[in-house]
Structure 1
Amino acid sequence: MLDSEDVRRSAFAHAFSDAVSARGVSLSWLQRRLKDRANPVSVATLSYWRSGERHPEGLRSLTALEDIERLLDLEAGSLVDLVCTRTRLGALAPAQNPFTETEVTAATAETLEILDAPPIDITRPISAHVVYTVDESGAPRQRTSRVLLQAVAPQVLDITFALMSAEHVVRRPECTLRGASLVREHLHESEHVYACVLRLDRPLVQGATTMLEVDMVIPPHDPGAMPVEEEALAFAIRPIRDLVLWTRFHPDAVPDWQYEFERTSSTDDIVARPLQPQSSVHQSRRDFGPGILGIRWGYDR
């Protein structure tokens, strides 16, 4: 009797073969198109996948499958959802909140309970690019995140997305999403944690990836309540392959002083480095986290 993995392998091979035939293309055509998209897969490998002799494994194969679905005019997930994922994840570090301050950790736990949020450890980020736009008042007005996420649970539909700060007030943003929709949100009364539950456009099986864009418009401070110092930050609850934080300042609001900061398990505490004030600051880290990466700035006015 075939086990569930054999059944899924057979289902994938049949679905892939049928899709190639229905599209009326050759494996050589498919191989060339994948190469053009920087997802090279050999004709021999594609042939093995079609016959069922081998099965796609690994993040690179998953990325190629997502392109194959588009090239063969299939619905998203038609092939990816049939792939066995048991060996795909590799080493998986435990998730942890990089904010160790008691007030923040307590506010996070309360917020997740109020939201009845899915566990934060059912996905892991592969890469994240975070862009902050600072307006003429010197305060952040927009935060845009583009994240490549991978599911590490058998089935992922809803995820938790959060903003946190130990030193500054977190204001409830107005969110625009691509790749997901907003289900519910909550700003903790301490104003140190904002979190929301997002529903992905399509469920992910373990090992599958998706791109997510979260654009947040941050409301202005109350008149007369502008803080002396502002910050922009990104954090990772698991090691992330590629993290970029880009902070852009209005020409009329270039800070009088700036410094970057980070905290990981290897630093124990916040490590700060002064910067020459400038209108655009980017920070890039490879294989970073769990940890916090950010920039703070202020004005002598």
Structure 2
Amino acid sequence: MGEDRAGIGRDLAHALRTGPFSAALHLAIEDRGVRLDEIQEQLAAAGVNVSVTTLSYWRKGRSRPERPDSLKAVRLLERILTLPEDSLMVQLGPRRPRGRWLTRPPGTIEVDRLFTDGVSVARAIGGLDRWMYHELTRLSLHDLYTVGPDRQEMSLTCRQVLRANVDRVARTVGIFASDDLAAITSITALRNCRIGRTRSDPGSGLLAAEIVFDRMLARGETVVIEHEYRSRSRVPTDNYYRAFSTPVNEYVLQVQFDHDAVPARCLRFQRRALNAPDQGVWEAWIGSTHGAHLVASDVAPGIAGMRWEWE
């Protein structure tokens, strides 16, 4: 029991930093051990009437507070659940447009700021019906990037652990952009998923794909998926980075070099956006098996990766 509550506390702290609102509210209620009818009574005593059904919808992500009375209730919820002031309010962001939407909650970055100028990732994602930032939390991501004997990129294997923040989540989106604009890239599902529709931008090296889970997720459930990109590139590569439009708890990057193409030096780096200055630059040692890696925790939106020098 104590271990479960400790786990909830850690998840709550992360949700208060990264959102979404529904996850933060749900975990706060679980952590404090209060019932929805008890919360409703305390809200009513403060002069704000919110039904138990509405509170349940907010908690499950089926709706969110938008009207003035509802926002007043959120302020009271912060007190009732003994949360820091504004910790729930900041998760709401601007008023949500009706119908289909691709909105950017607080603490995220516009995805096109993370890719090369002229490459519209948002447009490619839009061609895959929708991408709901708030539906999933990425708990961990492990990339394995391989470099071939002619210094060219060969493949990228991605393993992700995702948690649903709302009910009935069935898919996510995968994005790969090659430095070789003429490269032909393919994607293959390896575990616990299948590939749905794909979109490419000719001449940009970009591939976007639906990754459909092997089952529908309810709120709070997790899935571990693994897929692989293969690139038919003939251009030498000297870097790989992962672009994060939303935070991630843990990121691991391994770069595996062919024994005939081992660089002289390898560095890890982070940036707030593609054209922002480097931060946290230090050497990533290449081991006797010709690989280098980085491990990062609580990764903020932006870029994390490695670059190398051949001579």
Settle same-fold status: TM greater than 0.5. Answer: yes
Residue 253 (str. 1) matches residue 261 (str. 2): yes
Cα shift at 1:216? 2.1
Partner residue, 1:293? 304
8 Å Cα contact 1:245-1:294 kept in structure 2? yes
* Counterpart for residue 159 of structure 2: 146
Alpha carbons 2:192, 2:214 under 8 Å: kept: yes
What amino acid sits opposite 2:158 in the alignment?
S
**CA deviation after TM superposition for structure 1 residue 133, in Å:** 1.8
Deviation at 1:245, TM superposition (A): 0.6
Q: What does residue 147 of structure 2 align with? A: 134
Please list, as runs of the form range in 1=range in 2, the aligned pairs for 1:95-244 lying within 5 A after superposition. 95-97=108-110, 100=113, 104=117, 107-164=120-177, 169=181, 171-221=184-234, 226-227=235-236, 229-244=237-252
User: What is the deviation of 1:296?
Assistant: 1.8
| Structure 1 Cα separation of the partners of residues 191 and 225 of structure 2 | 6
Distance 1:211 1:238 in 2: 18
Give 5+ residue unaligned stretches, structure 2.
6-25, 31-55, 62-86, 92-104
| Secondary structure, aligned partner of 1:252 | coil
**Equivalent-residue separation in structure 2 for 1:281 and 1:102 (angstroms):** 24
Amino acid at match of 2:171: D
Rounded Cα–Cα distance in structure 2 between residues aligned with 1:277 and 1:113: 39
For residues 59 and 303 of structure 2, the distance between their equivalents in structure 1, rounded to whole angstroms, comes to: 30
- Relative to 1, partners in 2 of residues 1:98 and 1:241: Cα closer, same or farther, differing over 3 Å? same
Aligned residue pairs total 219
Give SS of 2:266's match.
strand
Q: Distance in 1 between matches of 2:217 and 2:145?
A: 29
Indicate how the Cα distance of structure 1 residues 104 and 272 shifts in structure 2: closer, same or farther if over 3 A, else same. Answer: farther
SS in 1 for 2:232: coil
1:284 matched to 2:284: no
Inter-CA distance 114–248: structure 2 relative to 1 (3 Å threshold): same
Letter in 2 for 1:189: P
1 CA distance for matches of 2:115 and 2:240? 21
TM-score by length of 1: 0.61
Give the partner amino acid of 2:270: E
Question: How far off is 1:178 after superposition?
Answer: 1.3
In the alignment, does 2:284 pair up with 1:273? no
Conserved 8 A contact 1:261-1:271: yes
Cα deviation, residue 274, structure 1: 5.7
Instruction: Measure how far apart 1:158 and its partner are.
Output: 2.4
Counterpart CA distance in 1 for 2:214 and 2:301 is: 27
Q: Distance in 1 between matches of 2:298 and 2:60?
A: 19
User: Which runs of 4 or more aligned residues in structure 1 lie more than 4 Å from their structure 2 counterparts after TM superposition?
Assistant: 39-42, 84-93, 101-106
Identity value in percent: 20
Letter in 2 for 1:236: F
102 and 298 in structure 1: CA distance in 2 versus 1, 3 angstrom threshold: closer
